[in-house]
């Protein structure tokens, strides 16, 4: 299981299941918050960013006879 859906995740064998998140949007928001704080503005409301699960071959149901 990986995070950030780095390009190599799809090239490995088995291909790695990973969580994708909007890194650019998160970085942009972090920079905006930093500049706002430096200018004495309030932090505002916390922001939630969407994520998605990229299911690949590194996950599978358990083999029969195992729990």
* Domain assignment present for 21: yes
- pLDDT at residue 60 tops 70: yes
* Domain assignment present for 30: yes
Question: In total, how many domains does the chain have?
Answer: 1
Q: What is the mean pLDDT of residues 5-12?
A: 86
Q: 3-class SS at 2?
A: strand
Closest-CA residue to 1 (of 57, 61, 66, 64): 57
Q: Between the CA of residue 66 and those of 26, 32, 50, 61, 63, what are the distances in Å?
A: 40, 50, 34, 10, 6
* Domain assignment present for 42: yes
- pLDDT on residue 61: 82
Show the domain range for 34.
Answer: 2-54
* Domain assignment present for 16: yes
| pLDDT confidence tier of residue 29, bands split at 50, 70 and 90 | very high
* Domain assignment present for 17: yes
- pLDDT tens for 44-56 read 788 999 999 999 9
Q: Is the pTM of this model over 0.85?
A: no
* Domain assignment present for 34: yes
Q: Between the CA of residue 64 and those of 51, 57, 61, what are the distances in Å?
A: 31, 18, 9
């Amino acid at each position: 299981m990986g995070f950030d859906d780095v390009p190599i995740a799809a090239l490995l064998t088995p291909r790695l299941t990973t969580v994708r998140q909007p890194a650019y949007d998160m970085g942009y928001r972090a920079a905006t918050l930093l500049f706002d704080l430096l200018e004495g503005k309030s932090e505002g409301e916390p922001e939630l960013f969407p994520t998605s699960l990229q299911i690949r071959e590194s996950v599978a149901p358990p083999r029969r006879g195992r729990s």
